[in-house]
Chains A and B, each alone.
Chain A
């Protein structure tokens, strides 16, 4: 009997590309759950290699104003972790092929039940999980559960990680998320050049692909980092486009217009990669 690929294998396969892959982050349920499904499909169509699906949280400590805003708007509409899982399932039902990573703070996971959630990820078509406030020392249980269930637990390393890089990199599953600079998420117009050295240092120790995120908003930044990573994550800059097009995206009749804007933004972002 041929076993279907696990989520962890699908994530690995997503990185089998010559160019670094584009990894968009969206807040699930913003501006509406129905729009999120269409947005995910549009992103895949525009070239995304992997999708980070964010569970909106009341107190997102690692996020800047943009993602805080989209999260609060989603929560106000009643979006919860169970509803985000349903959205992922619907995305699969509508034909989404790329791997999906659930991005969630730890508290919603605890209330849902850590073991229950991770054992159910496959049923909802989710391949990995990223918990920004669960550092290495607190992640032993989750690490074990994802491994048992063929999912990936995505770890982060930051410019302040220093001697921790090796420890985290050598245990990494799926891919390693490099935080480009100090601070919370949010589009930055410039990134410090030191990020390149940091990425190279991480790559030296990592047994999995290395992706970079936090602050990426422009094609030049993507171009600068491309030789030093296997993927780049874009969150706030994309959410800014969603915020700008919030009204047209909400309404099914005008949604195409907003989706076209998203497509345009993604194409522009990738334009620097030959």
Chain B
């Protein structure tokens, strides 16, 4: 019977996930789910997506044996999955291309996206330009101030950057404002979520669009070494590069999965984004997950040197992998991430994004303790060019304080 309570909660990862959105959006998320399920069964869609990923973004990205870093740390063999070599400089483009094609397939001509530092905003603007879609990117005023160049990049690509002045004017508020705008324009607009967060089907869909990272990695390590790795490490904000990397390894019980989250100034200060270490169960942006909140359920503003990890929640599938014990999450401070940023630049000639530097920093801690026959793979989710100005100014500031 159509009116029975048959329409149960969907998109669960254990007790996490689901769809906590205003009624106005429920049908839109249903339609999106249906369109997405159909698309990934359609050989034509998959072919077009594969072509875009290859010809436009430059996939497959290499799995690179970091010989110098391995020597420097003196323990396990370290490999880098070079997502930084993607078009636009990060893994974000994988998801943006796929969702862009999906939006087009659904007949939507308007795309909206949220962005923190601007990486997802740039990826969304890029694919919108290529597919001839109109694109609005919601960005907190504070982030606009910090990331002027990325704002200009998005504008060059033809997108409109919408300043968000509510709350603390950062990623959390940009996401809330994008959802509010979507509520108003849901009949014509496609919301391109940038991470494995939000209401069902986004966490599952974004994972599936990012799992190419892990699928390629698994194949490449088998081809290069003839065996699976012992550790796979990725940074976690919302967690899209990490879930894309982890997912194809979840069934491989001997592969340890480690997420590196941002401890900012330290998990025992009030300046961090360590959602797993310090978060509790609740609902944020339409999904049940772990989040930083006070005892009354008000969401607490996070902090990290890396704008891409500066989010008070985490993708619900990570909350589940953590709760089930399949993956482990460790906290990395700003200082540790900066150390990794400098080390990788110096020994490998690769400047990592500050986000990815958190994963490198975690490996710097435990790789030296491992035998030389162990294999560790780091997801190098993005390149650090975007962070160079910030670090230059920080260094300058530091010197003038001496």
> CB within 8 Å of B: which residues of A?
57-59, 61-62, 64-65, 68, 72, 75, 80-82, 105-112, 132-138, 140, 155-164, 166-168, 170-171, 179, 182-184
Q: Is the CB of A160 within 8 A of B187?
A: yes
- Say yes or no: B24 contacts A179, CB within 8 Å: yes
Q: Are A138's CB and B183's CB within 8 A?
A: no
How far is A61 from B198 in the complex, measured between Cα atoms in Å? 12
Say yes or no: A160 contacts B20, CB within 8 Å.
no
Within 157-188 of B, Cβ neighbours of A (below 8 Å) are at 166-167, 172, 176, 179-180, 183-187
Hey, which bits of chain B sit against chain A, CB under 8 A? 2-3, 5, 7-10, 18-28, 166-167, 172, 176, 179-180, 183-187, 280-286, 293, 295-299
Complex Cα distance, B176 from A58, in Å, reads 10
Known contacts A57-B298, A105-B283, A110-B283, then 19 further A-B pairs from the complex at CB < 8 Å, ordered by chain A residue = A57-B297, A59-B176, A61-B22, A61-B176, A64-B180, A106-B20, A106-B283, A107-B284, A135-B19, A136-B23, A137-B9, A138-B20, A140-B5, A155-B23, A160-B25, A160-B27, A161-B26, A183-B24, A184-B184
Q: Are A167 and B22 in contact (CB under 8 A)?
A: no
- A168 to B18: give the CA distance in the assembly, Å: 18
Q: How far is the CA of A198 from the CA of B281 in the complex (A)?
A: 37
In the complex, chain B residues whose CB is within 8 Å of the CB of A111: 280, 282, 293, 295-297
Minimum C-beta distance from B339 to chain A (A): 34
Provided the pairs A107-B283, A136-B7 are in contact, do residues A81 and B297 lie with their beta carbons within 8 angstroms? yes
Pairs across A and B, CB under 8 Å, 24 listed: A59-B285, A61-B176, A61-B286, A65-B166, A68-B166, A81-B297, A105-B297, A107-B284, A107-B299, A108-B297, A108-B298, A110-B297, A111-B282, A133-B22, A134-B20, A135-B19, A135-B22, A135-B23, A138-B19, A161-B23, A161-B27, A168-B23, A183-B183, A183-B184
Contacts of B186 in A (CB 8 A): 160, 182
B8 in contact with A137 (CB, 8 Å): yes
B23 engages A82 (CB within 8 Å): no
Q: Smallest CB–CB gap between A68 and chain B, Å?
A: 6
Residues in B with CB closer than 8 Å to A163 are 2
| Contacting residues, chain A, for B282 (C-beta < 8 A) | 107, 110-111
Q: Are B22 and A156 in contact (CB under 8 A)?
A: yes
CB-based contact B20/A58 at 8 Å: no
Residues of B within 8 A of A75 (CB): 298
* Complex Cα spacing A170 to B6, Å: 13
Assess whether B172 is in contact with A59, with CB atoms less than 8 Å apart. yes
Measured in the bound complex, the distance between the Cα atoms of B24 and A107 in whole Å is 19
- Is B187 a contact of A133 with CB atoms below 8 Å? no
